[in-house]
Every structure is written in structure tokens, then in C-alpha cells.
């Protein structure tokens, strides 16, 4: 069963966006818990309004955490403070009823620390985050970016040591240095527990609507559909929210075929 969600922008009202996603017919919201408007403190303060919006649309909840939260920082005291911030965000995610929690691999520029140290510190921190997330009923997932951040080879080492899952980001995998969607699907089909979908020009991380870039989405969806049946978040960053709904329709057409899509639409919105 295909389950399609959308991600909030932390710059806009969370409850308002949940209502918008509900009216668009999404199945869940992936809440990114980050500044400026969706910090743990602000989510806790507005929990009644957020819960009311979630319940209005019977929404499931996934959680997502800032890409800039380091998981391999060379200064131990800084890394300790970041882990503490993760834990506060995990608390907020659990309060909202989230079941999955997506974190990112390290984004430090090359040359800051030795590559083997970078990998070892990433694994060490992910182990800590996995325990903290599990203690709160959250399944920890690690998202791919590029080989310079964490390669397929590095992920294999990580999953040998930590029983976490993967959030496959199709857009990231398709960029220069992303190692390709096929590579991730071949290596981690048993680990992929969630998917992020957005388009780009195969060079930069642009988060375009589906079909607006150069990714072969038809092929990516065909390969994904051959084994995956779960949550997909459309991570489309656009001020025009109609493009988010357009991307949802495009995904359903690619997944089900146009004939089935039109039949489903007629069933959902009878004349």
C-alpha cells in the first residue's frame, strides 16, 4: 500500500500546514523539528493545536531532524550538546506520536578530520541516537546524502554495528556523487524503511517538484515499487503549494498507472 506524506516548512505554522496537507489528501505528515518555528520548545507549547490538526485528518506522524545537526563533530563537548538537542527533539516527536525518526550523516567539509575518524565518530553517535530514539518508541532511520558525506560502503559498516534503518532519499542518490538510486536499492533493500522523493538537475540538491528536473522518476519508481510498499514523503520545497499536490498526482500516476489513478480519483471525489 502506497502511503504518501508531506513535510512541513519550519518557517510556517505547523498546524496550518497539517490542515493544508489534509485538504490535499495526504496520508501523513513528516514533521521536521527545527528552527525557527518548529523547535521542540515551540512544538511542546503548541501541542494542543497540533494534535487537534493531526486528529482532524487522522494523520500518522513521522519525524525528521536538522541536516546540520552534526553526528561526527571533532569537538566532543560540542557533539555531546548536539546529542542533547537530538534528545529534546526526540521527546517532541514522541509526544506527537511519531514512529520513525530520520537523522542525517555528517556534512563536515573534507579535510576537517581523517576519513576513518569521520566514519567511526558517525557510527558512535548513531549508536547513541539509536538507543535514545528506541527508549522513546522511535525507529531511528539514517538518510543518505552523498559519498563524501557517507558512501554506500560506509553505510554497510554502519548497519553492521547499529540496527537502524535507512531513509532512502532519491533526490540525493541521483546527484553527482550520490552513487545512484540503483546502487542503494541493490545494497539496502532490506534496510529501507522510508523514502524521500523530490527532483533535481542531477547536480544540485534543489528539491524540485516531480518531473521538473532530470531524474528518471519512471525508472526509479519502477525499481522501488518492485519491493517497497511503505511511506514516501514528497520533500518538495516550493512557495507554490499547488506544485506539492501536482507532485502527489505525478507519483500516483507513476505508481498505479494513469487509468488506475483516474479511477481512484473518481472514487475519492465522486460527482
Label residue 264 by pLDDT band (50, 70, 90): confident
**Residue 180: which region, alpha, beta or left (left: phi > 0; alpha: psi -120 to 50)?**
left
Does CATH place domain 3-193 in 3.20.20.150?
yes
**pLDDT value of position 108:** 87
Q: Check whether 164 has a pLDDT greater than 80.
A: yes
Q: Comparing C-alpha atoms, which of 216, 234, 71, 230 is closest to residue 154?
A: 71
Compute the distance between CA of residue 209 and CA of residue 234 in angstroms, rounded to an integer. Answer: 8
**pLDDT value of position 235:** 98
Q: How confident is the model over 101-156, as pLDDT tens digits?
A: 999 999 888 889 999 999 999 999 999 999 999 999 999 999 999 999 999 999 99
Q: Which of these ranges, 52-61, 91-100, 250-259, has the smallest mean pLDDT?
A: 250-259
Grid cell, residue 267, equals 472514487
Q: How confident is the model over 244-263, as pLDDT tens digits?
A: 999 999 999 999 998 777 87
Label residue 266 by pLDDT band (50, 70, 90): low
CA dihedral 203, 208, 212, 213 (to 10 degrees): 10
Grid cell, residue 1, equals 500500500
**pLDDT value of position 269:** 56
**pLDDT value of position 254:** 96
Q: What is the residue extent of each domain of the chain?
A: 3-193
Q: Which residue has the higher pLDDT, 259 or 55?
A: 55
β-bridge mates for residue 4, sequence order: 232
Q: How confident is the model over 11-25, as pLDDT tens digits?
A: 999 999 999 999 999
β-bridge mates for residue 199, sequence order: 208
Are 237 and 183 in contact by the 8 Å Cβ rule? The answer is no
How much of the chain, in percent, has pLDDT values that exceed 90? Answer: 92
* Cα 202–Cα 244–Cα 38 angle in degrees, nearest 5: 95
Amino acid at each position: 500500500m502506497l502511503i504518501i506524506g508531506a513535510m512541513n516548512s519550519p518557517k510556517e505554522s505547523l498546524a496550518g500546514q497539517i490542515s493544508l496537507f489534509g485538504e490535499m489528501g495526504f496520508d501523513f505528515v513528516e514533521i521536521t523539528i527545527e528552527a525557527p518555528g518548529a523547535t521542540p520548545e515551540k512544538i511542546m507549547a503548541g501541542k494542543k493545536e497540533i494534535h487537534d490538526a493531526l486528529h482532524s485528518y487522522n494523520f500518522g506522524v513521522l519525524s525528521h531532524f536538522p541536516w546540520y545537526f552534526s553526528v561526527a563533530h571533532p569537538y566532543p563537548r560540542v557533539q555531546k550538546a548536539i546529542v542533547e538537542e537530538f534528545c529534546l527533539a526526540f521527546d517532541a516527536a514522541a509526544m506527537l506520536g511519531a514512529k520513525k525518526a530520520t537523522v542525517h550523516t555528517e556534512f563536515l567539509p573534507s579535510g576537517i578530520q581523517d576519513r576513518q575518524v569521520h566514519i567511526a565518530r558517525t557510527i558512535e553517535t548513531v549508536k547513541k541516537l539509536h538507543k535514545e530514539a528506541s527508549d522513546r518508541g522511535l525507529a531511528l532511520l539514517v538518510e543518505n546524502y552523498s559519498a563524501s558525506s557517507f558512501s554506500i560502503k560506509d553505510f554497510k559498516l554502519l548497519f553492521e554495528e547499529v540496527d537502524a534503518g535507512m531513509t532512502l532519499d532519491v533526490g540525493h542518490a541521483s546527484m553527482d556523487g550520490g552513487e545512484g538510486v540503483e546502487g542503494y536499492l541493490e545494497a539496502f533493500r532490506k534496510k529501507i524503511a522510508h523514502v524521500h522523493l523530490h527532483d533535481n538537475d542531477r547536480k544540485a540538491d534543489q528539491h524540485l517538484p516531480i518531473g521538473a528536473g532530470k531524474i528518471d522518476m519512471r525508472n526509479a519508481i519502477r525499481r522501488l515499487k518492485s519491493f517497497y510498499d511503505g511511506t514516501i514523503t514528497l520533500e518538495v520545497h516550493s512557495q507554490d503549494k499547488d506544485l506539492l499536490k501536482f507532485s502527489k498526482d505525478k507519483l500516483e500516476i507513476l505508481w498505479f498507472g494513469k487509468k488506475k489513478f483516474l479511477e481512484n480519483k473518481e472514487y475519492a471525489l465522486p460527482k
